[in-house]
Structures are given as C-alpha cells and as structure tokens.
Chains A and B, each alone.
Chain A
Amino acid sequence: MIPEIGHFALILALAMAVLQSTLPLYGASTGRAAWMTLGSRTAVAQFLLIGIAFAALTHAYVTSDFSVLNVAKNSHTAKPLLYKITGLWGNHEGSMLLWVFILSLYGGAVAVFGRNLPERLKARILAVQGMIGVAFLLFILLTSNPFLRLFPVPLNGEGLNPILQDPGLAFHPPFLYTGYVGFSMAFSFAVAALLEGRVDAAWARWVRPWTLAAWCALTLGIAMGSWWAYYVLGWGGWWGWDPVENASFMPWLAGTALLHSAIVVEKRDALKSWTILLAILAFSLSLIGTFLVRSGVLTSVHAFAVDPARGAFILAILVATIGGSLTLYAIRAPGLKMGGLFQPISREGALLLNNLLLATATATVFIGTLYPLFLDVIGGSKVSVGAPFFNGTFIPLMIPLLAAVVLGPFLSWKRGDLLGVLGRLKLVFIFAAAVALVTWRVVADGPAGAVFGMGLAGWLFAGTVAEWGERVKLLRVPRAESWRRAAGLPRGAYGTTVAHLGLAVLVAGITGSIWQVERIETVHPGDHVDVAGYDFRFDGATPVPGPNYEAQRGHFTVTRDGREIAIMQPEKRFYPLQRMPITNVSIHTNGFADLYAAMSDQAPDGGWVVRLYYNPLVPWIWGGALIMTLGGLVSLSDRRLRVGVPVKAKPVKSKLGQLKPERG
C-alpha cells in the first residue's frame, strides 16, 4: 500500500510541476498577481508530494519490503540499517528520486524564503524550476519508476554492491546532488533574468547565496568521493581523472567561476551577460554529469542505467535544456545593458582572468572526458584519455590562476596599480621563496615541480593572510584598532579569506602527494619492509568473521627508529552473497602524512602481497577542501546575502573601492 501512495504522490507531483511551469509564466507576462503566486503554492505542494514519495521508498527500504523490485534488487535483510537507508540512492531509480527531491527542496525554499524577490521574477524562477521538475519527474515515471512491484516476492534481496557499503560513500550522493541540483537555482535565476531582460546588482545578490550553497555541497561531495576512492579502492591515489570524477568536477569549475563573476555583477554591474552564460553552463554541466554517470555511456560502478531508453531520455532533456536556454541567451543577451567600465588591470580584470582560466580549464576537462565518447560515436578508434592528458592541460592553466588569486583582492576596482601591489607583496614573495627553498633542502631528490608547488602554496597562504592584514591595518595602527576593524569586516570577506586559505592547504596537499613512496612486497610473518624510514613488520594474518563478509586481517607493527608508531590491520574481505573480494585499507595519520597499508592477494608460497605507502601531506587535500567549504559557509552566513532578509540594491559609486576597503 505504502509504495502505491509513493507512486501516486509522484504522479501528483508531476501535475503540480506542470502547473508550476506554466501558470506563473503566463501570470508574469500578463501581470496577473494571482497567477504568479500560484508558483509558490505549487512549488511547496510539489516538495511535499515528492517528500511523501521519498518517505514511502525509505519505508520500503527500512522494512525490507522485497515486493518492491527496487528494494529487492538493492537491499538485503543482513545489511546494517544505515546502508539499508543509504541503499535507496545507491541505485539508479532511487538516486533519481533523490535528485528530484532535492530539486523540489530548492523550489520550495525559494517559494518560502524568497519573499523579498520581486513577484514577477520569482514567478518566472519558479516556473523554470517547475520545467526542470516536469522533465525529471517524467523521466522517473516513464523509465525509472522506483515503486514497481515484484511478484512472486523473493525471500531476500540481492544486496548492495559491498564496495558501496561505506559511510563515506553513503553520504557522497546527497552532497553531490545538492551541489548539482543547486546550480539549477542559478540556472532558473539566469533564465528568469533573460525573460525579464534585466540583470542588476540586486539580481546578483539574490543568486549568490544559492550558488554558494550549491558550491559548498558540491565541494564537500567531491571531497567525499575522492576520500572514498583513497581509502576504499586501495590503490593509494586520491584522484584518477576518471570520467565519473570529471563529471562532478566540471560543474564545480564552472560554479567556482560563477561565484566570482557574480561578485563583479553585484559590485560593479559589469560582466552581466557572461555571468548569465556561466549560470547556464554550470547547470548544463551538472546535467551532462548526470547524463554521463546515469546513461551507461561510462560503464562503471556508477552506471546503474544500462537501458538505452533512459540514456536517450536524459539526452533529450539535455538537448532541450541546454539548447533552449542558449537560444534564449542568444536572443536576449545582446539586449542586456553593459554596466561599469574597467581597465584590464583592476579587480574586475583579475576576476575576469579567473573566469577565463577556469572556463578554459573546464573546456579542456570537457574535451578530455568526451573525446573518447565522441570518437566512439562517429565510429573511430577506441581510445582512452588518462591522467597524463589532464595533468598536462589542467595544471598549466591552474598555475597562473593560483598566482592571480593573491593579486586580485589587492587590486582596486576599475583601475588597479599592479606594480604598486607587487611592491606591497614583497614579503609574501619572500615567504613563498623561503617555503620553496626549505622544501628543496628537505627533500633533496624531489621533482622540481613539487618544490614549485609548495612555493605556490606558500604564496597563496601568505598572500591571503597579508590581504586580511592589509584590511585590518595590522601592525600599522594600534592593536585595538586592528581588532575593531577585524570585527567589523563583513562575513563575506572572511569567507573569501578562509576559502583561499583552504585552497592553499589543498595545493600543498596535492603537491605533497607527488612524494608518495610505494612499496609492493610479498611478506611472510616476521618480514620487515622499509617505507620512507618507517619499518613495517608483518606479524601474520588471521581470519576474522564480519556481519555479512569473511575477512583475512593482516597485522603490521610500524616503528620508526625503534619507536612504535602504530599497529595497522588492513583486511581482505570476501562477501559471499556477491562473491566479491574487497580490500579494506588501514590508514594511520598524524595530520601531516599518512601511512597506508593494503592487503592484495595471497601468493602461491603462502605469503601475502601487500601494498604499503607513505603519503606525505595527503590528508591536507581533504583538510583544504573542508576549509574551502567552511569559507563558503561563512560567506553564506553574511547578513547581506542571507536569503529572506530584505535588501536594497546599494548604488554603486565609482570611488567605493578606494573609500571602503571592506567588501565581500
């Protein structure tokens, strides 16, 4: 009964979405207030209905109702409760339901919290959200219904792929989708603005919190996915430029660019049509990401959908959304009034450079990810594009970007003085050089690129701190005065500072991984392996039973200079239900470096083949991503950006930059 309620609620939600996507639009073009307010009501109703459907499916999972095909395929009574619930989105149908649930959550949030939005703009935004809802609800109901019944009812389910039974991965999809779908808000705002034919500072201020929230969720989601790849897959790496990873990384790059260009629209009323285009692109890339992962074109653990009808349906959604919005853009964008003028060397110029580099980087990732598919479609050779391609194109683009991250905030709006700024950054440069020098001395045999990378991280870190120091006039005015200034800085400014510090930590972590030390050895009890000065003693392996697996647990005692550092117990697990072996890695971290041990196979002579790694600075990768997310959240808490607080667009004066150094 409950699954039928869920199914029915989903159909009603589709009806609501149809209303939401049409009536308010008509109301907005004819100026009828009653029709416009329908947008909010239908959005809330749609959210409640999809919530009911979501709850119904969750109920089926929790109670292990195997009469529901989706549950029978993906769950099992022996599974821990957490994975029963998260198993809901560990498959195609359930994850699409999560997708529309988050979509309707955003729509409902605009309806409820967007009271300060102009009625007409709000109606149009909700209508565009409604259209996206129609497309995806149709997709679910026609091709991927999670509520299909199964008869006869099996005694037990087929279980979830054991590699997905992991807390890190359990929450990776919700965050990723909150990010992906969050860009639908920026998209709806952009399309609504094109319909209005007007983009101004107020528009940018409204669109920014949504973009920021989506960006934070996406950053966290990608970090979780990478963390999962690091400690579950047992290959010692954290990013492989896999198409599935790229699918989530492209919207992130475009979203990062959008965050920065929206600042220019808000502060200077410039780069308007570019910002609109970025908003469209960020969501288009999210859709392409969904398509790539869900359609089965990339056959991997992520491709639940092997049904070509689904791929064709998502492709149709993709073509309609991207084609439609870009056509609208082509018609309307030239009519957008061009705003504030600026010199190439200025804050706007720096942000534009940021955008150009990020957009170019997105394009290269896009080409590398889709080229093999393209070649395949036109019947060319089978090729694969691997990490060397992406490293070769992406890193050269990131170096000038990272260098400019420090310079940008120091330049004033409209017209900046690059030489003057460089003069003020002398100390920062010396600090960066010192970091590089120390790195070079400490790791004498490291590659030059790594030394440069550490210098760059130092440059970012010191430059960001210096920028904060500049704003509070650190050391130049009495300390109390500095404190007063520090307390008076807007949260948005702190958000930028924290996010850029996080970026510095991230760059250091990525650079550190270049010095990874890998040892693959066959060990017998009592054997020693030296990994970068750490002595791993293998004390043997013992069988250990698990809840739904059997494991062989290896025992390592790690010492350094005779002092015991850690006992590490990696496992090799075997899940009999799926007849699948899984490597369970053991990681010991001190915050600066990871020791990493994984059991591979038993050798014919009875020994164990093990992989041992020393991963310097790698934990900083996720630390950096967390700090960046924190920066985004701090910025989100800024009063001016808070959703629902009435804001008036401040007139932008040309001298604002010089008079008030505080800005967000």
Chain B
Amino acid sequence: MTRKRIRLYTVLAGLTSLAVAVGLVLGAFSDNIVFFYSPTDLQTKHVPPERQLRIGGLVEMGSVNREADGKKMSFRVTDQRNTVAVTYTGTLPDLFREGQGVVAEGKLGADGVFKAANVLAKHDEKYMPPEVAEALKKSGHWQEGGAK
C-alpha cells in the first residue's frame, strides 16, 4: 500500500460519503421543505394542493371558536389584508391568544380552509415569528414593538 494509493482511497471514500450526503439531502429536501405562505400569498399565489405548508399572521380578534369539548376549534389568521380560516384539533400552545402572532403547519383544503396539524406560538409574549413580522410588513400593517 503506497501513499499514493492511500490518498486515492481516502479521496474516493470522501467523495463517496459526499455523494451519499448529497443524495440524502436532495431526496429529503424535495419531500420535506415546508414553504411559508401569508394569508395574502394564499390568495395570490398558486398553492400546490395536499402539500404540507406553513401559514402565519395574527389570530383575528374574536375569531376563535372552540367546540364544547375544547379540542376542536376554528379561528382565522390575518395579515390585516386577507384572512384565512383555520381548523385545528388538539391542544394549543400556552401563548396562543387572539391578536397574537401565530404560525400553523398543515394543509390547505379544497374548500380554502386550512387544516392545521400543528400550531406554533413561542414561549415569549414579545415574540413575533419572523415570517409573520415580514408578512405584516408586506401588507403594510406592521407596528414597531409588535402587536399588542
């Protein structure tokens, strides 16, 4: 085994693992990247059906409607220009409130209602999800210091 061959083998092994990594990453990327849409994006852009996506905005005041068992609920998410109706079954994060920023992950139904599988709100009341902040800025309804 000469040094040259060792170097060759090492380079080959490195390239192989690189190729494996690229393959894995590309494979996983095509299935698992989740795109973010604001309520306005949902109106104006084409949204592929049955694809996992994230939406975000503010929980519209007075829109939260829980069924008697407290598990099934519906609410509307707004960027102050457009709104989207969301249905969700499960438990909400501690900081989910009307008027607060929220991000929901799920699928858009054919009826235009977003079926959330997951609702995210972070552990800080001053927190505004960056996507939501951007969506609000785009729709021209951003207030410095966050929505109260």
Interface residues of A (CB under 8 A from B): 161, 163, 233, 299-301, 338, 341-344, 352-353, 356-357, 359-360, 363-364, 367-368, 371, 381-386, 388-389, 392-393, 396-397, 520-522, 578-583, 600-605, 607-609, 611
Q: A397-B24, A580-B94 are in contact. Are A360 and B35 (CB under 8 A)?
A: no
The contact of B18 among A360, A522, A607, A609, by CB within 8 Å, is: A360
Tell me, yes or no, whether B62 is within 8 Å of chain A by CB: no
User: In the complex, A341 Cα to B3 Cα: how many Å?
Assistant: 7
| 6 A-B pairs with C-beta separation under 8 A | A341-B1, A384-B33, A384-B36, A583-B94, A603-B68, A603-B71
For chain B, the bracket of interface size reads 35 or more
Q: A580-B125, A583-B94, A605-B70 are in contact. List 15 more A-B contacts (CB 8 A).
A: A163-B123, A300-B123, A301-B123, A341-B1, A383-B34, A388-B32, A389-B28, A392-B24, A397-B21, A520-B71, A581-B94, A600-B92, A603-B71, A607-B69, A607-B70
Is the contact region of chain B dominated by helix, strand, or loop, or is it mixed? mixed
Residues of B contacting A580 in the complex (Cβ-Cβ under 8 angstroms): 94-95, 125
User: In the complex, A627 Cα to B91 Cα: how many Å?
Assistant: 35
Q: A392-B24, A392-B28, A603-B68 are in contact. Are A520 and B91 (CB under 8 A)?
A: yes
User: In the complex, A647 Cα to B63 Cα: how many Å?
Assistant: 72
Q: A389-B28, A392-B27, A397-B24 are in contact. Are A343 and B1 (CB under 8 A)?
A: yes
Q: Are B34 and A360 closer than 8 Å at their CB atoms?
A: no
Tell me, yes or no, whether B109 is within 8 Å of chain A by CB: no
0/1 interface trace, chain B 80-119, chain A, CB 8 Å (1 if under): 0000000000111011000000000100000000000000
Shortest distance in angstroms between B18's beta carbon and chain A's nearest beta carbon?
A: 7
Q: Are B68 and A604 closer than 8 Å at their CB atoms?
A: yes
Q: Are B34 and A385 closer than 8 Å at their CB atoms?
A: yes
Shortest distance in angstroms between A430's beta carbon and chain B's nearest beta carbon?
A: 30
Tell me, yes or no, whether B130 is within 8 Å of chain A by CB: yes
The contact of A356 among B6, B13, B71, B128, by CB within 8 Å, is: B13
Residue in chain A with minimal CB distance to B13: A356
Q: Are A582 and B70 closer than 8 Å at their CB atoms?
A: no
Shortest distance in angstroms between A161's beta carbon and chain B's nearest beta carbon?
A: 6
Residues of B contacting A605 in the complex (Cβ-Cβ under 8 angstroms): 68-70
Shortest distance in angstroms between B108's beta carbon and chain A's nearest beta carbon?
A: 16
User: In the complex, A385 Cα to B35 Cα: how many Å?
Assistant: 9
Q: Are B124 and A601 closer than 8 Å at their CB atoms?
A: no
User: In the complex, A392 Cα to B94 Cα: how many Å?
Assistant: 30
Q: Are A581 and B70 closer than 8 Å at their CB atoms?
A: no
Q: Are A601 and B21 closer than 8 Å at their CB atoms?
A: no
Q: Are B31 and A388 closer than 8 Å at their CB atoms?
A: yes
Residues of B contacting A363 in the complex (Cβ-Cβ under 8 angstroms): 21
Residue in chain B with minimal CB distance to A384: B34
Residues of A contacting B68 in the complex (Cβ-Cβ under 8 angstroms): 603-605
The contact of A578 among B3, B66, B125, B128, by CB within 8 Å, is: B125
Tell me, yes or no, whether B10 is within 8 Å of chain A by CB: yes
Shortest distance in angstroms between A224's beta carbon and chain B's nearest beta carbon?
A: 17
Most chain A CB within 10 A, of B25, B28, B31, B105, is at B28
Shortest distance in angstroms between A340's beta carbon and chain B's nearest beta carbon?
A: 10
Residues of B contacting A360 in the complex (Cβ-Cβ under 8 angstroms): 17-18, 20-21
Residues of B contacting A300 in the complex (Cβ-Cβ under 8 angstroms): 122-123, 127
Closest 5 CB pairs of A and B: A603-B70, A382-B36, A600-B91, A392-B28, A389-B32
